[in-house]
């Protein structure tokens, strides 16, 4: 537990420190305490949207589990999503959520190969959606962005997103590419898996893809549609904050394109939860669209709703859950 607390503290410190540094660099006369004047009703509404995102994602997981004939309470699906996000916030490059989700599903009597296939399949679906959004909105984004460093960040995000999405999609359908990719990850992270185990895992994954996608394409469509709804909800949170601080002429869907491309760059920063990377990337782009002071306000409130509050709540609930699990084990339970 102490290790978890340290990671939470580090994530918060990095994120908040970057915001302070951005304040000093971009707007020296800016008073960060002005954020406390942000309307409470908008803050509550945005937090409600965040809760809705978690509920939609839990529903997505529940659908997958039912399809695989697993009867797990919705509360456990919600727990999987909530703590999956929590571990994403405290691990470098935001990659800790998926391993936790797989572990949690296995703990709830889901077969390891099924748990892995469910979570990995969702990763592939996300790649499809990101690729679709990048291609749809790139023209709108280019029209609204001034020719500057911020535009360069957007273009980098577009090409990285395009490359990663295409690579993931190709690798999942090309056995040789996927095997090379997995063996590369095993080598980098020094994991104890043999080549035979990798071959078996790929066999299980490809069988799952055939079952899920080729024989049941409706499931793919439903899950991707629900994921798209969550991206709209995240964008709604950001859009409501921007509307308060700046009367922008940027449309809701143009902002969605900007958000997707910024996140593609920010999430690969090797800090816990990509802390610092998100704040810096957003500041570079938003300062050119809304002004330096407004950008800092927007970023701070957005991170408060989507990062600080969930991270603090996650720490509290993880501590409570950990104590309950310890009591159960001490009494001979599982």
The pLDDT mean for the chain works out to 81
State the average pLDDT over residues 67-75: 90
Q: Which residue has the tokens 């990798």?
A: 198
Contacts of residue 302, defined as CB under 8 A and 6 or more positions apart, other chains included, come to 237, 238, 241, 282
Would you list the domain boundaries of the chain? Answer: 2-328
Dist CA 318 CA 100 (whole Å) = 12
State the average pLDDT over residues 102-122: 83
The predicted-structure confidence for 152-200, as pLDDT tens digits, reads as follows 877 877 787 677 667 666 766 677 877 777 777 677 656 677 888 878 8
Residue 174's CB is within 10 A of a number of other CB atoms, namely 12
Is the predicted pLDDT of residue 235 greater than 50, yes or no?
Answer: yes
- Angle between helix 277-290 and 149-173 (nearest 10): 130
State the average pLDDT over residues 82-101: 80
Among the residues of 108-246, which ranges form H helices? 112-144, 149-173, 175-189, 195-209, 217-245
The predicted-structure confidence for 167-179, as pLDDT tens digits, reads as follows 666 766 677 877 7
pLDDT at position 18, please? 82
State the average pLDDT over residues 43-47: 95
Q: How confident is the model at residue 22 (pLDDT cuts 50, 70, 90)?
A: confident
Q: Which residue has the higher pLDDT, 157 or 82?
A: 82
Residue 64's CB is within 10 A of a number of other CB atoms, namely 22
pLDDT at position 147, please? 76
Q: Which residue has the higher pLDDT, 81 or 116?
A: 81
Is the predicted pLDDT of residue 51 greater than 60, yes or no?
Answer: yes
Residue 92 is classified by DSSP as B
* 8 Å CB contact between 285 and 154: yes
Is the predicted pLDDT of residue 209 greater than 50, yes or no?
Answer: yes
For 57, 123, 137, 213, 218, the CA distances from 224, given in Å and listed in that order, are: 11, 10, 18, 12, 10
pLDDT at position 256, please? 92
Q: Which residue has the higher pLDDT, 72 or 35?
A: 72
pLDDT at position 331, please? 43
pLDDT at position 168, please? 65
pLDDT at position 5, please? 80
Is the predicted pLDDT of residue 295 greater than 70, yes or no?
Answer: yes
pLDDT at position 322, please? 67
Q: CA 40, 43, 49 angle in degrees (round to 5)?
A: 145
The two three-digit tokens of residue 232, written as one number: 């709209």
Is the predicted pLDDT of residue 57 greater than 50, yes or no?
Answer: yes
Residue 111 phi/psi, 5-degree rounding, is -60, 145
pLDDT at position 82, please? 94
């Amino acid at each position: 537990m102490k290790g978890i607390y340290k990671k939470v503290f580090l994530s918060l410190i990095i994120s908040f420190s970057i915001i302070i540094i951005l304040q000093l660099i971009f707007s020296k006369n800016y008073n960060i305490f002005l954020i406390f004047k942000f309307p409470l009703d908008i803050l509550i509404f945005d937090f409600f949207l965040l809760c809705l995102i978690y509920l939609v994602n839990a529903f997505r997981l529940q659908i997958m589990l039912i399809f695989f004939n697993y009867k797990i309470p919705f509360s456990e699906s919600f727990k999987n999503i909530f703590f999956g996000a929590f571990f994403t916030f405290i691990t470098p490059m935001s990659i800790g959520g998926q391993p936790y989700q797989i572990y949690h599903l296995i703990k709830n009597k889901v077969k390891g190969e099924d748990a892995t296939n469910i979570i990995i399949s969702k990763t592939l679906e996300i790649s499809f959606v990101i690729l679709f959004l990048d291609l749809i909105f790139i023209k709108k984004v280019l029209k609204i962005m001034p020719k500057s460093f911020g535009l360069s960040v957007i273009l980098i995000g577009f090409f990285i997103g395009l490359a990663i999405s295409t690579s993931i999609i190709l690798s999942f359908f090309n056995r040789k590419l996927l095997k090379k990719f997995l063996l590369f990850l095993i080598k980098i992270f020094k994991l104890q898996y043999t080549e035979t185990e990798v071959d078996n895992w790929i066999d299980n994954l490809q069988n799952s893809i055939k079952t899920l996608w080729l024989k049941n394409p409706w499931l793919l469509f439903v899950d991707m549609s629900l994921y798209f709804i969550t991206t709209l909800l995240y964008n709604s949170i950001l859009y409501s904050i921007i509307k308060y601080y700046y009367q922008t002429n940027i449309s809701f869907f143009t902002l969605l394109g900007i958000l997707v491309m910024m996140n593609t760059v920010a999430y690969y920063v090797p800090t816990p939860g990509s802390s610092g990377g998100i704040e810096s990337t957003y500041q570079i782009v938003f300062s050119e669209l809304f002004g330096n002071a407004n950008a800092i306000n927007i970023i701070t409130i957005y991170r408060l709703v989507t990062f600080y509050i969930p991270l603090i709540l996650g720490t509290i609930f993880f501590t409570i859950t950990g104590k309950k699990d310890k009591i159960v084990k001490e009494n001979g339970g599982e």
